[in-house]
Homo-oligomer: A and B are copies of this chain.
Amino acid sequence: MLPLLGRIDHVGIACRDLDTAVRMYQATFGLQVASVEVNEEQGVREAMLQVGAGPAGVGAPGVGYVQLLEPLAPDTPVGRFLDRRGEGIHHVGYGVADIGQALAEIGATGIRLLDERPRHGSMGASIAFLHPGDLGGVLTELVQAAGHPR
């Protein structure tokens, strides 16, 4: 079987206050903000901070992101995570070339898909989550970048 995962796309981090978290990552590590978006479907306001200096940014080899996630309300997945576990790493996202094919192949192994079809993710990407209960407690996201594979 060929590797389905092309790269570590991002690490998703739950925070109570997005602006505070962004300032901390800028001041400590010198990271730059690539985008700030509200994703109503996921119930978050989020910032993507680029790690690594790729040529074109999104989807380029050697570029990953710290994704900071502030819940839009307590009764959202990230809001409930903060209540239960506090601030910290929420999930990991891997880049795939073809998210539809990846979901089909992974689903065929018996892993439960939280999203049967791709949803809208950061910076125009198509994303889907896999069930952490089938993956050693790790909430795992697949990411197909907009425009070209990342």
A143 to chain B, nearest CB (A): 12
A31 to chain B, nearest CB (A): 6
A100 to chain B, nearest CB (A): 16
**A137 near B88: Cβ-Cβ < 8 Å:** yes
**A28 near B109: Cβ-Cβ < 8 Å:** yes
A56 at the interface (CB under 8 A from B): no
Contact with B along A39-77 (1 / 0, CB 8 A): 000000000000111000000011010000000000000
**A3 near B32: Cβ-Cβ < 8 Å:** yes
A98 at the interface (CB under 8 A from B): no
Question: Taking A106-B29, A132-B88 as contacts, is the C-beta distance between A8 and B11 under 8 angstroms?
Answer: yes
Contact with B along A116-146 (1 / 0, CB 8 A): 0000000000000000100111100000000
Question: Taking A62-B61, A89-B138 as contacts, is the C-beta distance between A30 and B11 under 8 angstroms?
Answer: no
**B109 near A52: Cβ-Cβ < 8 Å:** no
A10 to chain B, nearest CB (A): 8
Contact with B along A80-108 (1 / 0, CB 8 A): 00000111110110100000000000100
- Considering the complex, give the chain B residue whose CB is closest to the CB of A15: B136
Contacting residues, chain B, for A29 (C-beta < 8 A): 3-5, 94, 106
